[in-house]
Amino acid sequence: MQSTWPTLSLLIWIPIAGGLLAAALGERKASHARLLALAVSLLTFVLSISLLTGFDRSTANMQFLENKAWIEYFRINYFLGVDGFSVPLIFLTTFFGVLVVIAGWEVIRTRVHQYMASFLVMEGLMVGVFSALDGFLFYVFFEAMLIPMFLVIGMWGGPRRVYATVKFFLYTFLGSVFMLVGLIYLYTQSGTWSIPEWQGLPLGITAQTWLFLGFLAAFSVKVPMWPVHTWLPDAHVEAPTGGSVILAAIMLKIGGYGFIRFSLPITPDASNSLDWLIIMLSLIAVVYIGFVALVQQDMKKLIAYSSISHMGFVTLGLFIAFAIFRHGVGSNAAALGVEGAMVQMISHGFVSGALFLCVGVLYDRLHSRMILDYGGVADSMPWFATFAVLFFMANAGLPGTSGFVGEFMVILAAFNANFWYAFLAGLTLILGAAYSLWLVKRVIFGAVKSREVAALKDINRREALILGSVAVAVIMVGLWPQPLVDLMHASVNNLLAHIQQSKIPAATIATAGM
Amino acid sequence: MALETTLLLIPLLPLAAAVIAGLMRKQVGRAGAHWVTILGVAVSFCLSAWVLYQQVFEGLGTQNISVYTWMVSGGIRFEVGFLIDHLTTLIMCVVTFVSLMVHVYTIGYMAHDPGYQRFFSYIALFTFSMLMLVMSNNFMQLFFGWEAVGLVSYLLIGFWFQRESAVFAGLKAFLVNRVGDFGFLLGIAGVLFATGSLDYSEVFSQAPEIATRTISIIPGMEWKLITLICVCLFIGAMGKSAQAPLHVWLPDSMEGPTPISALIHAATMVTAGIFMVARMSPLFEFSDAALSFVLLVGAFTALAMGLIGIVQNDIKRVIAYSTLSQLGYMTVALGVSAYSAAIFHLMTHAFFKALLFLGAGSVIIALHHQQDMRFMGGLRRKMPITWATAWIGALALVGFPFLSGFYSKDAVIEAVAESQRYGSDLAYWAVLLGVLVTSFYSFRLLYLTFHGEPRYRVDHSAGEHPPDGVLHQEAHESPWVVTVPLILLAIPSVIIGYLTIQPILFGGWLNDSISVQAQNDVIADLAHNFHGASAMAIHALGTEPFWLMMTGFALATFIYLFRPSVAETLERGMPGLYRFVLNKYYIDELYQAVFVRRAVQIGKVLWEKADAGLIDGVLVNGSARLVGAVAGRIRLWQTGYLFQYAFAMIIGLIGILAIWVVY
């Protein structure tokens, strides 16, 4: 299906063009840059709704296709399309695209035009990542998207921003180099950069294993998975609020999306034989990082560690499918796990984004992220406290919020793979509540800590609008996740059918058999 | 009005009221907040009573209604829906009635509190959550209600959020409950694993099949799958219904305002675990091992927690330990397959325990938030209605013949006596001795609070001070909004057992909801000896429980009415034992040392040694030094023209890629 109206291109290039325009406005026209950024992000958001409404849920085929030759010599195409995995993530991206513009409205005072430009360009590039179906194009978006993020941290960040940026850069760059090698190998084998075609490419187990490890290097850093997670807390701490929000809400999802788009369908046999590795790392993330989050003194670090722990559910949900198939208990639980992983990604986007916005609200007032500097905030900021408690409860996986849905699905599915997977993953019920609510106890409740805290002003209308709109999303997904999971059924079933078929060429199997 | 609409309105009215009272504080004002929530809950109660009427007199059968499809994933349907049978309706009526009483009472109790509207919003929200829990027809919604009541409980325990101890108690309650919920969720996952469904009727129909399956979770050990599931589910019940060793949160929950102690931490929420196990009886019946576990946990809780109640001085804490002990009785009943007796005791307990708590609250406001019984006494003449209703509540609690608690508690004890299950001998002695203990602390409470010399006005300037200051004027009876609920709760505390024991226990009222296998059916054995409620009460006068109760009465009367010195002599005579019990067997201290501090230590070690030390210190920064030159370059970018350079990078990247691809 060739789309007549290039929706995806518009979703990518409108924010990028808007960003460049904002940058060109210059330092003096800060208010123009703000209005322009708001208009562009709103337009993109509205356009992404047409993606939701026009999306055909009944098929796993790629939709809104655009395919044009780009660098013909290398058969690189400008190839875009979306399925049930990418549509929700694109929607999440455009949703937060609007929120970060509003969140930076009065707070950012220096180089406003460049700030707004960075976020708009980043938005377009991230939509590009989620919609690219050409391996090379994907890689370009994947790398390019980081640059505005480096800028955001490097220019509007905290005192240790240089260290954080370098660490972030080294981690992600090292990881993606291995992926690049893998992509080039796939091109040499198939003569094409088309990801859908790669998914049908027969590959021996050795090649698959190397490819799998290459993808793992890139995506595990993004998720991030233990033990390549240590860049995240530093990056979050130094990033301005908007940067943290995008980092947590969208960028981490690119890791999970990468597993779905590349590792699982292109190297299913390697995924099958190495699933224990991912599951082990996921469970370590859930439990180990849960304990680490408990002892954090810096609110942003705590939320960053909590993110790592929650993202463990994403990788767990994706990779338990193999164990479930090996047990022969049917594919129901496997689908539950993969859909749980997807729901967890969306929900974590909302919840972690909201939590960083909450910390931003406090930071803007007291210029501290330290838990010890607060206490009794509920007294002077009752509305803020209401939102914060809601989001921390969602972070602790309270039913009725989106935070519950994904974890619930993954834990239910994990029991079908192995009792102990469910057991260890289930510990998040205790750990997640412990670190979330202990923070709430120390920051929101208790005796009023200081005169500064007593003088805090409650959230204004702009902040209420931002937190309120995320709250609506969190509760809607919590009370009725059906529309969200309904988007991905066809794609999930297609993926599961795909990973059950060996990609090892028949000859290789015969050799292995001898 | 269609039945479905009615059923929907029952939980949704309190929810709507909660939202209005909570979010539209300015618009509705203080009085508006209490009117809207009281109206919501009152209508909800009337509708519940109407459903009960339909069932009793019009023969309305079990209703299994789907409200909406929450989610379909992996071919599994997750529904939100109602299962309305006799068990559900009974609990709905109890919940909405007690909630209504507490709402009215709150007008008096919280009259001067700045969080007045917030409080009404929370208790209405609680009523909604509890109704969703009991009306559910599936495990997912059950878990939703389960956690939602936990949330409201957390918010209400920490209601006075400036108070450090209250916030701590709220956190503790939530976390201990989460330990239980962890088991509960694993149990639910097990149910889905075993049956592929979370719908009650579907799961229960497959119960015999699950009973034949085994699971090996530790290599080499085969366990019955249904035992694993039931034990996990029961761990959830242990958290919510505060069974040892997960009981530690309930006494601390007394930090919350007294109305919610009555509603949430005595009458309704804490009995959710009992309700859940009764609801799951079709599963539990297939696992003798799980039921024995239930039985032993309940027996230990019933006796050990009652003993703590004897030495407490805080009036609310005495009642809290009494609640723990009574929940133990209900759990024991579940353990011997006497589910209907457990539900029966749940119902009578809801009335008389809510009554006792609200009575205590009436005393507490009269004494300006004095909760220490050592500084009470002699309130009988000052507060006659509170005094009389407290006596009724206490007599019901100790199981005085003809009162409601007598019928339910006697049924539990008799059921244990009849049971052949492993552990029932031990449990029998525990519940029997528990009667003596219950009786002693109940009368002790009455004497210390209402009888003897008034101690609340004594000038303690020379010696010990009462914790919350001394009253300077006389205590007065509470206003009508407080006393009317006391009277309305006292009525069922007296008569409900006499009226309903026949239908609930022996008339098969709960037969549709509860499944008992013939060889386990101890209630059927009791039915042979049941010749009417009056005969049962008269017959009881010659049995051990009655005399144990009278012994407790005599001891308490002697010590606290006539010879107060005896208590002190005993305390001094056995200082070790006294301190051991007074400090709640040091279980809190043990948990603090073993779990809380250890968790923080583990976190610190993992963070400082593993994350910062090994991963960052050795691996990352080591690599960084290796590529120091690169890092040096990168640092240059940070100096000024970062923005332009960065965009140049995108172009550069594509260039590098192009070269790479060529070779």
Q: Could you tell me which residues come within 8 angstroms of residue B223 by beta carbon, excluding any fewer than 6 positions away?
A: B214, B215, B216, B217
If residue A39 lies in a helix (H) or strand (E), which one and from where to where?
helix A30-54
- Give B69's pLDDT tier (boundaries 50, 70, 90): very high
Residue A510, pLDDT above cutoff 50:
no
- Please state the ipTM of this predicted complex: 0.92
Cα B353 to Cα B390: distance, rounded to the nearest angstrom: 10
Q: Which two tokens stand for residue A204?
A: 């021996």
The pTM assigned to this predicted structure is 0.92
**A429 vs B contacts (CB less than 8 Å):** 178, 181-182, 185
pLDDT of residue B123: 94
DSSP string for residues in B123-182: HHHHHHHHHHHHHBSBHHHHHHHHHHHHHHHHHHHT-STT-HHHHHHHHHHHHHHHHHHH
Q: What is residue A111's predicted lDDT score, i.e. its pLDDT?
A: 86
Q: How many CB pairs under 8 A join A and B?
A: 206
Q: What is the mean pLDDT of residues A116-127?
A: 93
User: For position B218, what pLDDT does the model report?
Assistant: 81
Interface check for A256 against chain B (CB to CB < 8 A): the answer is no
Predicted pLDDT of residue A314: 96
Best CA proximity match to A412, nearest among B76, B230, B148, B282: B76
Q: For the residues A247-252, what does the mean pLDDT come to?
A: 93
State pLDDT tens for residues B184-206: 999 999 999 999 899 999 999 99
Report DSSP letters for B496-518, one per residue. Answer: HHHHHHIIIIIS-TTTTT----G
Residue A431 φ/ψ, nearest 5 degrees: -65, -45
Cβ–Cβ below 8 Å for A412 and B188: yes
Portion 212-251 of A in contact with B at CB < 8 A: 227, 230-231
Q: What pLDDT sits at residue B649?
A: 61
B661 in A contact zone (CB under 8 Å):
yes
For A259, A331, B334, the CA distances from A495, given in Å and listed in that order, are 11, 11, 46
Average per-residue pLDDT for chain B: 88
Q: What is the DSSP string of A448-495?
A: ---HHHHTPPPP-HHHHHHHHHHHHHHHHHHH--HHHHHHHHHHHHHH
B298 pLDDT exceeds 90? yes
User: Is pLDDT of B529 > 90?
Assistant: no
- Res. B660: pLDDT tops 80: no
Q: What mean pLDDT comes out for the span B476-496?
A: 93
- Cβ-contact B520, B337 below 8 angstroms: yes
Q: Which of B71, B144, B653 to mutate to test the interface with A (most CBs of A within 10 A)?
A: B71
Interface test with A, best of B19, B69, B73, B228 (most A CBs within 10 A): B73
Local structure of residue A72 (DSSP, 8 states): G
B600 touches chain A (CB under 8 A): yes
Q: Give how far the C-alpha of residue B661 lies from the chain's centroid of Cα atoms, to the nearest Å.
A: 66
B615: which chain A residues are within 8 Å (Cβ-Cβ)?
227, 230
Q: Which residue has the higher pLDDT, B75 or A329?
A: B75
Short-list B385, B367, B384, B368, CA closest to B376: B367
Is the pLDDT assigned to residue B532 strictly greater than 70? yes
CB contact (8 A) between residue B624 and residue A166:
yes
For residues A114-134, give the mean pLDDT.
Answer: 93
User: Does the pLDDT at position B472 exceed 60?
Assistant: no
DSSP code of A64?
Answer: E
Nearest Cα of chain B lies from the Cα of A510 at a distance, in angstroms, of: 33
| B interface test, pick of A387, A445, A448, A485 with most B CB neighbours within 10 Å | A445
- Tell me which residues of chain A, numbers 343 to 402, contact chain B at a CB-CB cutoff of 8 Å: 376, 378-379, 389, 393, 398-400
pLDDT at A359: 94
CA distances for A278 relative to A263, A282, A292, A317, angstroms: 12, 6, 20, 10
Choosing among A405, A429, A491, A496, which should be mutated to test the B contact, i.e. which has the most B CBs within 10 A? A429
Counting residues of chain B whose pLDDT is more than 70, the rounded percentage is 91
Whether residue A222 contacts residue A255, with contact meaning beta carbons closer than 8 Å, is answered with yes
**pLDDT value of position B629:** 56
Report the pLDDT averaged over residues B119-146.
Answer: 95
Give the pLDDT mean for B238-254. 92
pLDDT at A132 (0 to 100): 94
What is the pLDDT averaged over residues B132-150?
Answer: 94
B217 touches chain A (CB under 8 A): yes
The SS3 assignment for B457 reads coil
pLDDT digits (tens, 9 = 90+) for B317-332: 999 999 999 999 999 9
Residue of A nearest to B604 (CA): A295
> What span, in angstroms and rounded, lies between the C-alpha atoms of B29 and A328?
61
Average pLDDT over residues B11-28: 91
- Listed in sequence order, the residues at least 6 apart from B25 whose beta carbon sits closer than 8 Å to its beta carbon are B33, B117, B118
B462, pLDDT greater than 50? no
Residues of chain A with Cβ-Cβ distance to B161 below 8 Å are: 376, 378-379, 444-446
Count of other CB atoms within 10 angstroms of residue B576:
7
- Residues 145-184, chain A: which have Cβ within 8 Å of B? 147-148, 150-151, 154-155, 162, 165-167, 169-171, 174, 180, 184
| Token code pair at residue B577 | 């034992």
Q: What is the mean pLDDT of residues B406-431?
A: 93
Q: How confident is the model at residue A514 (pLDDT cuts 50, 70, 90)?
A: very low
Q: Which residue of B has its CA nearest to A401?
A: B144
Tell me the nearest-neighbour CA distance from B658 into chain A, angstroms.
Answer: 9
Does B70 reach chain A within 8 Å, measured CB to CB? yes
**What element of type H or E holds A198?**
helix A195-198
- CB-based contact B653 A140, cutoff 8 Å: yes
Q: Which pLDDT band, with edges at 50, 70 and 90, does A87 fall under?
A: very high
B634 CB within 8 Å of a chain A CB: yes
Task: Give the confidence band of B407 by pLDDT, cuts at 50, 70, 90.
Answer: very high
**Helix H or strand E segment including B648:** helix B642-662
Interatomic CA distance for residues A428 and A434, integer angstroms:
9
The chain B residue lying nearest A399, using CA atoms, is: B144
Task: Find the range with the poorest average confidence among A218-222, A319-323, B588-592.
Answer: B588-592
Please name the member of B151, B154, B181 whose beta carbon is closest to the beta carbon of A429. Answer: B181
As a whole number of angstroms, the distance between CA B606 and CA B643 comes to 38
3-state secondary structure of B21: helix
**pLDDT > 60? residue B432:** yes
Using the beta-carbon criterion (under 8 Å), do B171 and A441 form an inter-chain contact? yes
The pLDDT value given to residue B624: 61
Question: With an 8 Å Cβ cutoff, are B660 and A184 in contact?
Answer: yes
In terms of residues, how long is chain A? 514
User: Higher model confidence: residue A17 or residue B626?
Assistant: A17
pLDDT at residue A196, as a whole number: 92
| Residue B580 pLDDT | 85
| pLDDT for B628 | 60
d(CA A163, CA B620): 12
pLDDT at A513: 40
